């Protein structure tokens, strides 16, 4: 009996999770449409909630702030990147694990079109760009102790680790800008690889 109940609870939980994911995606798509049509600063939370068919309270249960509708929460972003690096094989080098972290961050987008709209909004909206830069600065600092053991030769100082992280993020930003200029043609990670190769060349 207990086993049957557990299975039923698991199925209910899975259904609940799927329902929440669908609701969050509907809110996100509505927000992106409105931001694209009339601008990020000109779009209100009340309008997004009304057009998505939910209350503002419900919207804030899924997305803590208006900015989270574009880039996700700071905690989510930093945790995803740092945990991805932490979980890479012990023999993977610093450049390799950073690339894996960027790949994980890109996987948050459900489609190329969604990624294109999000990146364009961040690139073109001062407040969103400032939020991204704050997330990036925090992320870079939290990555340092995770990367230092992967540097060669052993004993490489923190200044060198900081330079590697800053270079990787700069190459990722350059790849994103190039991808936007090309209207989403190609692959961001390929552009990142090309930029990094040019810098390290």
Contact (Cβ atoms closer than 8 angstroms) between residue 74 and residue 83: no
C-beta atoms surrounding 127 within 10 Å: 13
Identify the structural domains of the chain with CATH numbers, from first to last: 1-65 (1.10.10.60), 67-201 (1.10.357.10)
Estimate the crossing angle of helix 74-86 against helix 94-106, to 10 degrees: 140
Q: What is the pLDDT along the chain (201 residues), one digit of tens a residue?
A: 444 555 555 555 576 566 777 888 889 899 999 999 999 999 999 999 999 999 999 999 888 889 988 877 788 889 999 999 999 999 999 999 999 999 999 998 888 888 999 999 999 999 999 989 999 999 999 999 999 888 876 666 788 889 999 999 999 999 999 999 999 999 999 999 999 999 998
Q: What is the pTM of this model?
A: 0.82
Contact (Cβ atoms closer than 8 angstroms) between residue 151 and residue 94: yes
Contact (Cβ atoms closer than 8 angstroms) between residue 69 and residue 125: no
């Amino acid at each position: 009996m207990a086993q049957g109940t557990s299975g039923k609870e698991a199925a209910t939980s899975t259904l609940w999770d799927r329902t929440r994911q669908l609701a969050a995606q509907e809110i996100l798509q509505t927000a992106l449409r409105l931001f694209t049509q009339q601008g990020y600063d000109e779009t209100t939370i009340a309008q997004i909630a009304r057009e998505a068919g939910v209350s503002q309270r419900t919207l804030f249960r899924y997305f803590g702030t208006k900015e989270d509708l574009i880039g996700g929460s700071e905690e989510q972003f930093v945790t995803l990147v740092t945990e991805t690096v932490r979980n890479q094989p012990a023999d993977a080098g610093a450049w390799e694990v950073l690339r894996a972290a960027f790949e994980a961050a890109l996987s948050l987008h459900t489609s190329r079109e969604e990624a294109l709209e999000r990146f364009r909004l961040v690139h073109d909206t001062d407040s969103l760009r400032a939020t991204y830069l704050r997330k990036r600065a925090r992320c870079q600092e939290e990555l340092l102790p995770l990367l230092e053991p992967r540097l060669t030769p052993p004993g490489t100082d923190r200044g060198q680790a900081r330079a590697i992280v800053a270079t990787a993020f700069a190459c990722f930003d350059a790849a994103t800008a190039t991808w936007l200029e090309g209207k989403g043609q190609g692959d961001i990670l390929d552009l990142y690889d090309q930029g990094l190769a040019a810098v390290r060349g």
